Structure 1
């Protein structure tokens, strides 16, 4: 033992350690190099993206702009597929997409679980990453993976129906119309849920089933809508199963001899046409499902899965309601094709 200057006992080990420390300089391991921020980090990846509608339609245009923005930001090569909202055409195009064997496919869910399932299996066997947008396909995702970007359609539909009852002041015995693709198991869940919520309030809801081509050209629905309004002049509210139809409300109402605000018109999505409908007093309520994100996020997720081996992302893009009180807040963005 050795007595230190402060009177404490210092062990022989400590003396040796202090001596060694004075003879050597301790060197700590260098910090790992910081990863560089990468530009166009998805470059070289080949994707196919289903826009859903025809080129230039109001909803499909916003989806397309979102996807193009992701392509520009991230750098993949993207083939864009337009289907005119024809589910049989979508399935044929998906079959062709899987055969090409891109790195990833972003698919609209409109054809439904049963129709997509065998092609999803083929894609999985070929190592093709899948994402789905706009209409959920939970059975496909549960079996073969992938993510979903879009509103949860049944939840959105039920919320819309309850909001219509409240804002339109509907009571038991009142009559309303609801237009939509009711026979489509997955896609029609939104309109079926809207009807269920309204019927729970005692409203009599009359279904107007969609015909092929209405989404691409809403004017094809003019004879059906006007005939229904003529047959049921007491109707208080009319619902539409998509932004294209909702944007055509002034034409429907004027053809039926109705004035702005005489019928409570509601539906889903915003667009420049829908904004004009609000401005003119023709449209009273729209549920916003942010289609720009339905374009951008599937491409982002596919790139993340392919380049970084991340798991797929799933995002509910249902954002709430657009009304005569707040439509001006998004009017400019709708004109720019972002909302």
Structure 2
């Protein structure tokens, strides 16, 4: 009887959302908290916020997004501890720095809180901290796929602009790219920082000092947008091969304008949406996917932009 009531409540919540578009009440009473490593300044995470909000509405659960305002991982560790102290039904979190975050995440699991790792980290690390599963993009594999494509398109010597050097798994994108090209990564991976003016100046300086570079890889809008500005300033926009991870308004415009050859969409909407749905079904019915979920990579080119452009920065 209880199961039937829960099923009816879930169906009602989904139907109400579909019919009215309004936020559904938390009929089941679950509370899920997503903790990310992203600073407030990184607008890419708006898609994550939209993903958990929509999932919460559709399954009738309460969801909340928390992050360290400056992106400090030590701050993030404290936020996870605070989230666990509120005893939610589940925590969804990135694993930006395994050494710093494994303690608080494992402690939450030991407390009896279900945890899903998303976006950053690896399936192996998720298993080690006791999480239910990992939802995200396999970073090295995505970088390798990017490198294979770049190699086919003529790239031989590259610059990888890494704005998240403190997150080792993100750097695996650069490493996979280099391996696919068959070259040493070496100094080709730049620690760009996150300040747009500084990134632009560093890219300009690197390209001036290394005129044989014929390809650029950026790891998201934080590094892509200033790199676009750098290429426009030095006259190389459209003349140097340019691939990027993730999407955003300026990236989409640059793909349309033939400045960026392609973007790699890791589908952050799914990284946020799926864990909420999975946790709700786990809590209510005891069902769980048997494998981790790869949300990407998917290449976005100029001829496939219509749907992406419509929802870029919102759901894509």
- Class of the TM-score when normalised by the shorter of the 2 chains: 0.7 to 0.9
Question: What is the CA deviation profile of residues 264-292 of structure 1, one whole-angstrom value per residue up to 9, with x for unaligned ones?
Answer: 11110112221111122221121111111
How much is the aligned-residue C-alpha RMSD, in angstroms? 2.6
User: Structure 1 residue 38 and structure 2 residue 24: aligned?
Assistant: no
- Structure 2, unaligned stretches of length 5 or more? 14-25
SS at match of 1:187: helix
Of residues 196, 201, 207 in structure 2, which corresponds to 1:229? 207
Q: TM-score, normalised by structure 1?
A: 0.78
Look up the match of 2:97.
Answer: 111
Structure with a larger share of its residues in helix? 2
Report the CA distance between 1:142 and its aligned residue: 2.3
- Structure 1, unaligned stretches of length 5 or more? 1-32
Look up the match of 1:11.
Answer: none
Look up the match of 2:228.
Answer: 250
Look up the match of 1:278.
Answer: 255
The alpha-carbon distance between structure 1 residues 145 and 53, as it changes in their structure 2 partners (threshold 3 A), is closer
Question: What is the CA deviation profile of residues 209-234 of structure 1, one whole-angstrom value per residue up to 9, with x for unaligned ones?
Answer: 242xx1xx433312211111121233
Question: What is the CA deviation profile of residues 141-178 of structure 1, one whole-angstrom value per residue up to 9, with x for unaligned ones?
Answer: 324132111111111111111111112x12xxx43101
Of residues 157, 162, 175 in structure 1, which corresponds to 2:157? 175
Within 5 A, what are the aligned runs for 1:73-84? 73-83=58-68, 84=70
User: Structure 1 residue 207 and structure 2 residue 184: aligned?
Assistant: no
**Residue-pair matches, total:** 295
User: Structure 1 residue 305 and structure 2 residue 282: aligned?
Assistant: yes
The alpha-carbon distance between structure 1 residues 80 and 329, as it changes in their structure 2 partners (threshold 3 A), is closer
- Taking the aligned partners of 1:118 and 1:88, their CA distance within structure 2 comes to 11
Look up the match of 1:192.
Answer: 175
SS at match of 1:186: helix
SS at match of 1:260: coil
Q: TM-score, normalised by structure 2?
A: 0.83
Look up the match of 2:115.
Answer: 130
The alpha-carbon distance between structure 1 residues 275 and 74, as it changes in their structure 2 partners (threshold 3 A), is same
Report the CA distance between 1:92 and its aligned residue: 2.4
Look up the match of 2:244.
Answer: 267
SS at match of 1:229: helix
- Taking the aligned partners of 2:27 and 2:261, their CA distance within structure 1 comes to 42
- Taking the aligned partners of 1:237 and 1:115, their CA distance within structure 2 comes to 34
SS at match of 1:70: helix
Report the CA distance between 1:98 and its aligned residue: 1.9
Look up the match of 1:19.
Answer: none
Of residues 298, 301, 304 in structure 2, which corresponds to 1:323? 301
Question: What is the CA deviation profile of residues 117-140 of structure 1, one whole-angstrom value per residue up to 9, with x for unaligned ones?
Answer: 222321122110101111233344
Report the CA distance between 1:326 and its aligned residue: 2.5
Look up the match of 1:27.
Answer: none
- Taking the aligned partners of 1:79 and 1:262, their CA distance within structure 2 comes to 44
SS at match of 1:101: coil
